[in-house]
Chains A and B, each alone.
Chain A
Amino acid sequence: MGLVEKLVRKCRARSPWILLFDTGACNACDIEIAACLTPRYDVERFGVLAKGSPRHADILVITGPVTRQVRDRLIRIYEQMPEPKYVVAAGTCATSGGVYWGCYNTYPSLDSVIPVHAYVSGCPVKPEAILRAISVLVEKIEKGEA
């Protein structure tokens, strides 16, 4: 691994910007992730900023089971993100369908639609769990494993 590559990786791990996208969640996971941005949990100390556009984001945080309506938009958003990109499935229903398992309008899980790098379980996820997921992912990015 060259020096430049090492440096790039290090920098990347210092500023993982996230984009939050709701693909049919019940909002509980979304507000818990929003709570991470606020003073008590403060993910900004890891360099995490929530962004409004997929073109600015490194990590796509998905909450909710993927509904049929939103699937194409999700794929479009995923494609708009610059490489390298990472996806975090936040919440049981993004991971495995959760309580919506068997609903006629949802896909069984997020990874049947786009590739996923980290799963956070919990219904809703706890802010602590999200912090841990992000720090584990960042560690992996730094080591070049993700």
Chain B
Amino acid sequence: MNFEVPIGPQHPIHVEPLMLRLKVEGELIVDADVDVSYIHRGIEKALELRPYIQGLYLVERICGICNAAQSLCYCLNVEQLLGKEAPPRARYLRIVVEELSRIHSHLLWLGHYLHTLGFETLFMYFWRDRERVMDMLELITGNRVTTAYNTIGGVRRDLPPGAEQKLRRTLDYIEERVRYYEKVIDSEPTILARTQRVGILKPGDAVRMGVTGPHLRASGIKHDVRLDDPYSGHDEIPFNVITWDTCDCYARVKVRLRETSECVNMIRYALDHMPSGDYRLKIPPFFKAPPGESLSRVEAPRGELVHYSISDGGDRPYRYRVRTPTLANLLSVVEMLRSRGDYEVYIADVPAILGGIDPCICCSARILITDEAKKRRMITTLDDIIRFSRGRRVERR
């Protein structure tokens, strides 16, 4: 008996609408298809219509969670067009905020992922600790989520007095908590059962499909833009690229957890070695960029982010192109959801696999199950599928 199961496009917590069509045989998934077009807003076109400085605020709102990476990538791009470079202090401050937002993003993902696996308590714990990071972001940049910290030619403001001590205290706290979570996750049989050997992506497939970020590193491949193409003084800051070679959802959890403590060390190093001097170049708000093109790459929390722009000498870009990491990672979901040979994927694994790549598009809410044989349709919600995946039992409504 063959079913087609469309999932989406709506979901209870913090998710872009995403449509996923699954072809199932019984409980086994044989094919999958993804559609992410629901929130197309036309940002690339809008960027062409706005002066460079206004584009900065639009670019941050491509993705609210990785906004620090987006605005950094944009600034690097425009600075390259102008042939300028941010002063050393600005580069270190950018790293501090970028890594802080990576911690917030990873904690957010971990909490949300465990929530989809049915671990409500850890979800609350992770998000409680994340609030401490948000406080720090607010203290340094003035806003919790959309920070608007990077600006063309540097950063918008210096570290406020007293921020360093508070930041260090928060980092100590986060480091200790991450150690504790690692212990919990490694000793909790439910989490292990739901993640180990689920959603396997072989290194060869991962490279072939252009997967990036923690998702690629969880397939055992050492790739990180910060290491391969240091863009903001990352060559001066020592850090380890975390990889894990089990290639499953468990590896994705582990990589992100370990990366969080790596971020903590990077911020500490940046604070210890913070250069003095100016934190921004004086660049007038409205300017014309010389004709040319430029490409910038940044390691966003979810993977490699690429911005490409062409300037025709005007005060706004002639063409602006953004390639976000989630788009690169989405293809692999299709691959991971397809059963082949002795690798079997069940409907119950969908939340774990889909959630495993990224919280940005983690799940879905309403599911329409079409029974091809009987031509009957039933509507279920995400809650149902999560409940079902927990108890391996379908509830019809």
Shortest CB-to-CB span from B134 to chain A, Å, is 8
State whether B58 touches A99 (Cβ < 8 A): yes
State whether A40 touches B45 (Cβ < 8 A): no
Chain B residues 5-26 with CB under 8 Å of chain A are: 9-17
The reply to whether the CB of B169 lies closer than 8 angstroms to some CB of chain A is: no
State whether B63 touches A27 (Cβ < 8 A): yes
Size of interface on B: residues with Cβ below 8 Å to A: 46
Q: A38-B128, A124-B146 are in contact. Are A22 and B37 (CB under 8 A)?
A: no
Size of interface on A: residues with Cβ below 8 Å to B: 44
State whether A31 touches B12 (Cβ < 8 A): no
**Complex: chain A residue closest to B360, CB-CB:** A27
**Distance of A77 Cα from B8 Cα, bound (Å):** 12
Shortest CB-to-CB span from B25 to chain A, Å, is 26
Shortest CB-to-CB span from A92 to chain B, Å, is 10
**Complex: chain A residue closest to B9, CB-CB:** A73
State whether B41 touches A51 (Cβ < 8 A): no
Q: A22-B17, A25-B64, A65-B41 are in contact. Are A103 and B46 (CB under 8 A)?
A: yes
**Distance of A128 Cα from B168 Cα, bound (Å):** 26
State whether A64 touches B39 (Cβ < 8 A): yes
The reply to whether the CB of A59 lies closer than 8 angstroms to some CB of chain B is: no
Interface residues of A, dominant DSSP: mixed
Q: A28-B145, A35-B127, A102-B46 are in contact. Are A67 and B13 (CB under 8 A)?
A: no
**Distance of A77 Cα from B131 Cα, bound (Å):** 32
Residues on B with C-beta less than 8 A from A53 are 365-366, 381, 383
State whether B63 touches A102 (Cβ < 8 A): no
The reply to whether the CB of B65 lies closer than 8 angstroms to some CB of chain A is: yes
The reply to whether the CB of B209 lies closer than 8 angstroms to some CB of chain A is: no
Residues on B with C-beta less than 8 A from A30 are 13-15, 64
Residues on A with C-beta less than 8 A from B382 are 52
Per a CB cutoff under 8 Å, which of A73, A93, A99 touches B17?
A: A73
**Distance of A93 Cα from B60 Cα, bound (Å):** 14
State whether B41 touches A73 (Cβ < 8 A): no
Shortest CB-to-CB span from B60 to chain A, Å, is 8
State whether B64 touches A29 (Cβ < 8 A): yes
State whether B128 touches A39 (Cβ < 8 A): yes
State whether A39 touches B127 (Cβ < 8 A): yes
**Distance of A1 Cα from B257 Cα, bound (Å):** 57
Residues on A with C-beta less than 8 A from B41 are 24, 65, 67, 100, 103, 105-106
**Distance of A103 Cα from B41 Cα, bound (Å):** 7
State whether B63 touches A26 (Cβ < 8 A): yes
The reply to whether the CB of A70 lies closer than 8 angstroms to some CB of chain B is: yes
Chain B residues 48-73 with CB under 8 Å of chain A are: 49, 57-58, 60-65, 67
Question: 6 A-B contacts, Cβ less than 8 Å apart?
Answer: A22-B10, A22-B39, A38-B128, A70-B39, A100-B42, A100-B61
> Which residues of B approach A to under 8 Å, CB–CB?
9-17, 37-43, 45-46, 49, 57-58, 60-65, 67, 108, 112, 123-124, 127-128, 130-131, 134, 144-146, 360, 365-366, 381-383
> Which residues of A approach B to under 8 Å, CB–CB?
19-35, 37-40, 50-53, 64-65, 67, 69-70, 73, 77, 93, 98-100, 102-106, 123-124, 126
